[in-house]
């Protein structure tokens, strides 16, 4: 049975009352974990069952792949409104674009992996790295373990160094 089929049957595994579920929580959490690639199902779990809400949000916010400036704004607003979600985010991927992700990076203390991505080559200059260094001389994402930059061409070495020094 594929992951989506497992996800669709999860609602039948939890009793309709607030009592204990029919299956052990470890099994239910494993099924939710199997749905990690199905964001729509995870959102449905989080919205329809209070018992599935915490695990579903954990899976949704652990590895975040942002595809547009609009998604970045919505994600930023979500973690601003619900600060308990900030430490959950461990991996963040987004395209190079005409927006700065640095305000978001500065509020995610558990961030370990950041990917700047672009399908086609983009030229990066100093204006796109406006305010890349946090105030007070600190750094963004101090728990960062990997930084991936794809599809970028830096106008100068200084621009590239400015990006790296922000981390």
Q: Rounded distance, CA 47 to CA 52, Å? A: 9
Rounded mean pLDDT of 107-115? 92
Whole-model pTM over 0.75: no
Query: Are residues 99 and 119 part of one domain?
Result: yes
Structural domain for 39, as ranges: 3-61
Angle in degrees, CA 67, 72, 75, rounded to 5: 115
Query: Are residues 77 and 50 part of one domain?
Result: no
Query: Are residues 42 and 74 part of one domain?
Result: no
Dihedral sign (CA 69, 152, 64, 147): negative
pLDDT of residue 119: 59
Total tally of structural domains belonging to the chain: 2
Decide if 122 contacts 94 (C-beta within 8 A).
no
Query: Are residues 110 and 133 part of one domain?
Result: yes
Query: Are residues 126 and 147 part of one domain?
Result: yes
Query: Are residues 109 and 33 part of one domain?
Result: no
The share of the chain scoring above pLDDT 90, in percent, equals 35
Residue 135 reports pLDDT greater than 80: no
Distances, alpha carbon 151 to alpha carbons 50, 91, 117, 119, 121, in Å: 41, 19, 6, 6, 5
How would residue 149 be classed by pLDDT, with cut points 50, 70 and 90?
Answer: confident
Decide if 65 contacts 88 (C-beta within 8 A).
no
Query: Are residues 57 and 14 part of one domain?
Result: yes
């Amino acid at each position: 049975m594929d992951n989506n089929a497992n996800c669709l049957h999860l609602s039948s595994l939890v009793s309709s009352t607030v009592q204990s579920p029919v299956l052990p929580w470890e099994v239910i959490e494993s099924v939710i974990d199997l749905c990690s690639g199905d964001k729509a199902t995870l959102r449905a779990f989080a919205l329809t069952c209070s018992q599935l809400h915490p695990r579903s949000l954990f899976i949704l916010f652990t590895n975040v792949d942002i595809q547009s400036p609009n998604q970045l704004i919505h994600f930023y607003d979500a973690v601003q409104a619900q600060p308990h979600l900030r430490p959950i985010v461990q991996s963040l991927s987004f395209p190079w674009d005409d927006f700065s992700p640095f305000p978001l990076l500065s509020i995610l203390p558990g961030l370990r992996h950041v990917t700047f991505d672009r399908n086609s080559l983009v030229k990066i200059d100093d204006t796109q790295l406006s305010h890349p260094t946090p105030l007070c001389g600190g750094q963004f994402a101090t728990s960062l373990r990997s930084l991936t930059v794809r599809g970028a061409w830096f106008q100068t070495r200084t621009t590239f160094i400015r990006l790296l020094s922000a981390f």
